[in-house]
Each structure stands twice: as structure tokens, then as C-alpha cells.
Amino acid sequence: MKFAVFASGQGSNLQAIIEAVQRGEIKAELAVVFSDNRKAHALKRAQEAGIKTLCLCRKDYATKQSYDRSIVIHLKEEGIDFIALAGYMRILTPFFVKEFPKRILNVHPSLLPSFKGAEGIKDSFTYGVKVTGVTIHFVDEKMDHGPIILQEAVKVSEEETLESLTEKIHKVEHRLYPKAIALFADGRLKIKGRKVEILNG
């Protein structure tokens, strides 16, 4: 299987995925790293690992759908089977999601369905939760909504700062996301409605 990772920024989750592929934990080829941001450090990480990169900017396209259509054409040319979103800051169009049904994964820094959106860590910290966490889920046409693959809780201590909580969350993401991708690549995830069953290997 071939997959692509989409990233808009630093690419720390991408780095964890690259290393898991290199260790043989993810039995799939990371064929393309895509970004909507030419300055994304994720592109540099990919280049250093010898992975093909693709960068298309939304402002160069008339509509969201024409932008997503162009991305899909490139992915199909590369024979991409599935996609992992890793800090990709754009919401995919329904057209895009339909092109890769139940084949797009995402990592979110809260225990969904709580604290959806771009600021999951900050929002949960500001709200004053005692427990937050990480969710890996399939992507559907609604934001942060698809069936949940894996979740892990993270306790918020009395002394916690936003920075320390962010670091804790990222550590869990870097461990949990490659695990979920590996399960998908091994054909061990079965979706039943909103539930995801993990099959024995």
C-alpha cells in the first residue's frame, strides 16, 4: 500500500510516521508528503528522508473544489491508497472525502467529540478540564467527526501550563498515530457505523 501525509506546519507527527515506516512498524510506503504551505518545515523533513513532496497553494485556485480536485489528480497519479492528515489546517471538501472514502485518517489533540477545531489543546486547557487526550479517527464530511480508531487520555495536573500540556499531548500523538496507521495498513480496522473494530492480526 502507498500513502500520503498532509501537513501544514512543523511536521512533528510526520517525523514520527517517517520513523515508524523506517523501523518497519508501518508496512506501507510513505510515497508523498503534501503541504498547502511552501514554508512548512514538514516539507524539509520529507526531503531529508528522501520522500517525494508536493505543495499546492489554495490562492492559486478559483474554488476549494478545484484546489482539492488538483490534489486528488496528483495523488491518483502516484497510486495513493490512503491519506494521513498530520497537522493539516484545511478542511477537506466533500468531493475530496468521497474520492478516498474511509481511507483518510486524522489526529486530533483532544478526546473527541469534545473540543473540536484548530485549537483543541488550548481550548481544553482554558476550559479547565482535568483530563484531555488524543483521538485518531477516520475523516468524514464533517469536521472532527468520523469514526474513532484510537483514543488515549492525558491527565491535566494542577501545575500544568499550556506549554507542558502541549508537550504531553504531542508525545502521545507521536506514539498513537503511527500505531493507528499501522493497523489500517495491515487491514485490521473494520468500520461498523460509528464504531471501529480492531481485528486480531
**What does the pLDDT look like over 141-177, one tens digit per residue?**
998 899 999 999 999 999 999 999 999 999 999 999 9
Phi, psi torsion values for 179, nearest 5 degrees:
-60, -45
Pick the catalytic residue from 41, 74, 108, 145. 108
Question: What is the arrangement of strands in the sheet containing 29-35, beginning at the earlier edge strand?
Answer: 52-55, 29-35, 2-6, 82-85, 104-108, 131-138, 148-155
For 152, the enclosing helix (H) or strand (E) is strand 148-155
Residues of the chain with confidence (pLDDT) below 70: 201
Distance separating alpha carbons of residues 28 and 2, to the nearest angstrom: 6
* Residue 174: active-site member: no
Per-residue confidence (pLDDT) for residue 201, from 0 to 100: 66
Stated pTM of the model: 0.95
3-state secondary structure at position 177: helix
Domains by residue range for the chain, with CATH: 2-198 (3.40.50.170)
pLDDT at residue 144 in the model? 87
Rounded Cα distance between 55 and 41, Å, is 12
Cis peptide before 113 (omega within 30 of 0): yes
What Rg do the C-alpha atoms of the chain give, in angstroms?
16
**pLDDT of res. 13:** 97
